[in-house]
Amino acid sequence: MDLDSSFGSAARAISNPCNVCGRFPSRTVAFHRNVGLVFARRIHTFQGDLCRSCGRGVYRDFQHRNIALGPWGLISLFATLYYLANNAIHAASFRRDLDTPQPSDPELERKLQGRPVLLRPGGLALMALLGFLVVSGMMNSGKADNAPEEAHWRVGACVVFDGSVANPVSCGSTEHDATVTRIVASETACPDTTEWWVEVDDQSVACLEE
pLDDT digits (tens, 9 = 90+) for 132-191: 888 888 887 766 555 455 568 888 888 888 887 888 887 776 688 888 989 898 888 898
Q: For residues 198 and 172, which has the higher predicted lDDT (pLDDT)?
A: 198
Overall pTM surpassing 0.85 (yes/no): no
pLDDT reported for residue 130: 83
Q: Which helix (H) or strand (E) holds 134?
A: helix 121-146
Quick: pLDDT tens for 78-133.
Answer: 999 999 999 999 999 888 999 989 888 899 999 999 999 999 988 888 888 888 88
How do the domains of the chain map onto residue ranges? 10-133, 158-209
pLDDT reported for residue 6: 46
Nearest residue to 198 (alpha-carbon basis) of 176, 174, 167:
167
Backbone angles phi, psi at 24, to 5 degrees: -120, 160
